[in-house]
């Protein structure tokens, strides 16, 4: 599981900003992608420099790392605490990504003690589906640590309107800002074309129960077309083994192809050549894979629970609730598309994402927000 647990912003001369984030691996890259893309935008397009601090990192990452040596379930890293205390005179704003780890705790405590503004982005971790998972532990943590951390924040950042409403209901916070996840259009290879050697649907992401792969497999067994396959991309896990067993029990193991991890040009080739990208998540904060697939001009079936703008339905995509009947109906619908309808839907959805979910069009929202905090 890829977690980024917190980001802090440190002002030096000329509004230089430092990000600090707790990172694991590239495999589960949703939150990682968001923070790294934010770092890139600020460095390339604004007068705000950013530096990322982490618990773990890839070998090529230019981040400052503080390893957790004990209490690793909490990613406890006293070196990170020492570092931010040593640099507290330079810190202008903290931005905490995630909510349940030591990094958010230690940064929020320093921020409260030194009267430093701080932002909290839960990244969907406080949504009802997530709070029910390991519910007792999270309830205790909420009472002991998290409630104060949230309520004393300068502002809360929600990725979707649904998350904004849930955060208000949970905290009563009067300052909640909603900015969606964004993607760099320049990160998508040019001249991608739909030239499939076989007809397939694509599922790509972290293989975790919340992603709805079980719905995908069950619905695949029920649709009218009995030859279409689904390619499943993601690092093997206990859940992926369970899903392989599910496909076998339904007699469709030959139609569900588990490819493991795929990156780079091959990932985008898979997006571009799929009949459609399927993301039937039970809970999500938009999901970067939805945006990537759409910009590759591939129609996307996803859920209202991702928090994506419902206009997705009017711009080439399909939105459903994460239920077997709704997904089965959506799959039957897309199997009826002609080549030209599939092409037109993909082009419309790509334009919709470019207008509403790209750094090129919406990145200024973050620049404006940080500057508003720096000005106070």
Closest CA to 156 of 124, 127, 182, 122: 122
pLDDT at residue number 344: 97
Structural tokens at position 83: 């570092």
pLDDT at residue number 25: 45
Taking the C-alpha atoms of residue 153 and residue 94, their distance in angstroms, rounded to an integer, is 10
Residue 248 has pLDDT above 70, yes or no: yes
The tens digit of pLDDT for each residue in 294-329 reads 999 999 999 999 999 999 999 999 999 999 999 999
pLDDT at residue number 135: 86
CA 60 to the chain's CA centroid: 21
Helix axes 364-374, 30-45, angle to 10 degrees: 70
Taking the C-alpha atoms of residue 162 and residue 153, their distance in angstroms, rounded to an integer, is 20
Residue 243 has pLDDT above 80, yes or no: yes
Q: Strand 176-178's sheet: what is its strand order?
A: 7-9, 93-97, 118-121, 155-158, 176-178
The CA distances from residue 68 to 81, 101, 110, 237, in Å, are 12, 11, 19, 23
pLDDT at residue number 15: 56
Residue 8 has pLDDT above 80, yes or no: no
Taking the C-alpha atoms of residue 320 and residue 203, their distance in angstroms, rounded to an integer, is 16
- Record the pTM: 0.87
Structural tokens at position 178: 């909603």
Taking the C-alpha atoms of residue 4 and residue 177, their distance in angstroms, rounded to an integer, is 20
Domains of the chain as residue ranges with CATH: 7-182+359-374 (3.40.50.2000), 185-356 (3.40.50.2000)
The CA-based dihedral angle spanning residues 359, 364, 369, 370, taken in that order and rounded to the nearest 10 degrees: 80
Query: What is the DSSP-derived secondary structure letter of residue 90?
Result: G
Taking the C-alpha atoms of residue 17 and residue 47, their distance in angstroms, rounded to an integer, is 9
The tens digit of pLDDT for each residue in 209-240 reads 999 999 999 999 999 999 999 999 998 889 99
Whether residue 290 contacts residue 281, with contact meaning beta carbons closer than 8 Å, is answered with no
* Residue in the structure block whose two tokens are 């701080």: 118
Whether residue 232 contacts residue 262, with contact meaning beta carbons closer than 8 Å, is answered with no
pLDDT at residue number 29: 56
Task: Name which of 64-73, 156-165, 259-268, 281-290 the model is least confident about.
Answer: 64-73
Phi and psi at 94, nearest 5°, equal -100, 140
């Amino acid at each position: 599981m890829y977690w980024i647990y917190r980001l802090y912003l440190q002002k030096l001369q000329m509004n230089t900003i430092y990000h600090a984030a707790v990172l694991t691996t590239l495999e589960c890259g949703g939150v990682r992608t968001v923070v790294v893309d934010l770092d890139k935008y600020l460095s390339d397009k604004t007068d705000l420099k950013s530096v990322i601090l982490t618990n773990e990192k890839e070998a090529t990452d230019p981040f400052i790392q503080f390893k957790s040596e004990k209490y690793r379930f909490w990613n406890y890293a006293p070196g990170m605490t020492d570092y931010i205390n040593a640099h507290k005179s330079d810190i202008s704003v903290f931005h905490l990504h995630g909510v349940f780890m030591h990094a958010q705790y230690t940064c929020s405590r320093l921020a409260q003690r030194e009267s430093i503004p701080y932002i909290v982005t839960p990244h969907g971790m406080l949504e009802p589906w997530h709070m029910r998972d390991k519910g007792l532990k999270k309830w205790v943590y909420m009472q002991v640590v998290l409630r104060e951390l949230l309520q004393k924040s300068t502002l809360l950042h929600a990725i979707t309107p649904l998350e904004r409403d849930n955060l208000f209901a949970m905290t009563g916070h009067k300052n909640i800002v909603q900015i969606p996840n964004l993607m760099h259009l320049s990160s998508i290879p040019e001249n991608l074309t739909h030239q499939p050697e076989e007809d397939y649907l694509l599922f790509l992401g972290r293989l975790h129960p919340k992603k709805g792969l079980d719905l995908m497999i069950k619905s695949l067994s029920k649709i009218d077309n009995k030859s279409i396959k689904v390619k499943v991309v993601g690092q093997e896990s206990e859940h992926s083994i369970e899903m392989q067993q599910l496909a076998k029990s339904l007699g469709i193991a030959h139609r569900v192809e588990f490819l493991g991890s795929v990156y780079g040009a091959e990932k985008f080739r898979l997006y571009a050549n799929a009949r459609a990208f399927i993301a039937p998540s039970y809970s999500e904060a938009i999901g970067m894979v939805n945006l990537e697939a759409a910009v590759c001009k591939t129609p996307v079936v996803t859920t209202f629970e991702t928090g994506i703008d419902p206009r997705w339905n009017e711009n080439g995509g399909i939105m459903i609730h994460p239920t077997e009947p709704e997904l089965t109906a959506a799959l039957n619908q897309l199997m009826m598309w002609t080549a030209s309808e599939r092409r037109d839907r993909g082009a419309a959805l790509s334009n919709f994402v470019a207008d509403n979910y790209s750094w090129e069009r919406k990145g200024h929202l973050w620049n404006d927000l940080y500057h508003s905090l720096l000005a106070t």
